[in-house]
Chain A
Amino acid sequence: MNGIHDMGGMQDMGPVEYEKNEPVFHAPWESRVFAMFIAAGAWGRWNLDAFRHTRELLPPADYLRVSYYEQWLSGLGDLLVRRGLVSAAEIASGVPAAGEPKASPPLTADKIPAALPNRIHAHRDVRVSPRFQAGQPVRARNINPTGHTRLPRYARGKVGTVYLDHGVYVFPDTNAHFLGEKPQHVYSVRFAARELWGQQAAPNDSVYLDLWDDYLEPA
């Protein structure tokens, strides 16, 4: 989706504001939203791509206006309801529906150390033939899907060179919509800064993107 989240290359967002000695969380509620998202995610009802897409669907003005963890809160609320863990009525009332047995939370404190290192869990050990190899020139396809994608607008139609084959990963464009994992190779692709931005860029600078097979075509 050509949304506000896809902001690489925009120039009117102002200077980077740096906070010295920044705390991990700026308020207790931020830490609770963070923890609830991880803990509820352990049910396996959604994936990170789906979560990212909930944030992308925020109206653009809201996306820029609300804080990061408010985006998370919104996305968490959406997924809890849409994926059947909580009903909209329960969210509205704040009270569990009458007569339902209490569930057993899948993530307990003792399981956290083992769960965190494989939190993303997007790599797949399946044999899929790579369509490209290191050193090969490739063009990022000019696609404009209305759903989730991880091919930023600024790279579409541009020519780069495959730097590395990272192996096989789930495909966000289908995974985010629960339409299957469609595992395929992901490559690190180097784009010369001047290919992306023209002559105003420094001649030897570059941007590396990790791109899926389906995003690329031979150049």
Chain B
Amino acid sequence: MTTKRRDFLRGSLSAAGASMTANMAHGQEHHDHQHQAVPSDPTLRVKALESLLVEKGIVDRHALDALVDTYENKIGPRNGARVVARAWADPGYRARLLADATSAIAELGYSSKQGDRMLVVENTPKVHNVIVCTLCSCYPWPVLGLPPVWYKSAAYRSRVVIDPRGVLREFGLELAEDVEVRVWDSTAELRYLVLPERPAGTESLNEEQLAALVTRDAMVGVAKVVAPQGGGTS
């Protein structure tokens, strides 16, 4: 059964796609591509699939547009940065965030209390957390948006569990020997966010200014947040 599925998948990846392409390119090409499983341009395959699904009423084109707009423009690391800045500025919020991240993040409107579960892990001078999904690409969409390519890459997924310090070094982050590294492999349906350390010299910054310092990489745990030049005074 597995073998059959594999054959099918191989087919659906290349042959069906190629036939869509062949249809669209009909008239310009001869028949010499029929038996080749050369991956065709995904643009054409995807256009053909979208037309089919819209025509059948499986998907709504306006919904597709809205989904793309949501993840390109509305849901991204700025959400997470505001969560982190609030936690830095408000000790009560920080406590709620660490105890029940799902509800605390819902307070800011980025998720639902009844929705998918979140966990926040806190970096300290002696503990450094880093997040991965070794098996696929699980990532906290509501607070960070969609994952970057490196997060989904074989290099990151395979190596960060066995050699976290080496991988972090590639990101420019050198951790002292006495810092405890905790790698969180998102194997289930809980999504992790790292609460980075608040950099020294940012005492005078307000929440909005703090949020501007917080990067996606710091919230995955492959970087630290650095204070702005000039000590963070505005």
Contact = CB atoms under 8 A, between A and B. Distances in A.
A25 B161 contact: no
B90 to A, nearest CB: 22
A73 B161 contact: no
A7 B158 contact: yes
Contacts of A199: none
Interface residues of B, number: 91
A111 to B, nearest CB: 8
A8 B158 contact: yes
B60 interface: yes
Contacts of A18: 150, 170-171
A151 interface: yes
B36 interface: no
> Most A CB atoms within 10 A — which of B56, B156, B184?
B56
A90 B58 CA distance: 13
B186 interface: yes
Contacts, number: 305
B167 A16 contact: yes
B188 A212 contact: yes
Contacts of B207: none
A219 interface: no
Contacts of A211: 187-188
Interface string A113-152: 0001111111100000000000000000000001000111
A32 B60 CA distance: 12
Contacts of A43: 58
Given A57-B5, A94-B20, A169-B189, A15 B170 contact: yes
B231 interface: no
Q: Which of B45, B159, B187 has its CB near the most chain A CB atoms (within 10 A)?
A: B187
A13 B154 contact: yes
Interface in A196-211: 196-197, 201-202, 204-211
Nearest to A100: B56
A9 B135 CA distance: 11
A28 interface: yes
Contacts of B148: 19, 22
Contact of A116 (B142, B153, B171): B142
25 contacts: A7-B158, A8-B162, A31-B68, A34-B71, A35-B63, A55-B136, A57-B2, A57-B9, A59-B9, A68-B149, A78-B5, A81-B12, A94-B20, A103-B57, A105-B60, A105-B63, A109-B66, A111-B63, A116-B70, A116-B142, A117-B112, A117-B115, A154-B162, A205-B182, A212-B188
Given A122-B116, A204-B181, 14 more contacts: A9-B162, A11-B162, A36-B59, A39-B64, A58-B9, A66-B39, A80-B58, A91-B12, A94-B48, A117-B142, A123-B117, A196-B161, A205-B182, A210-B190
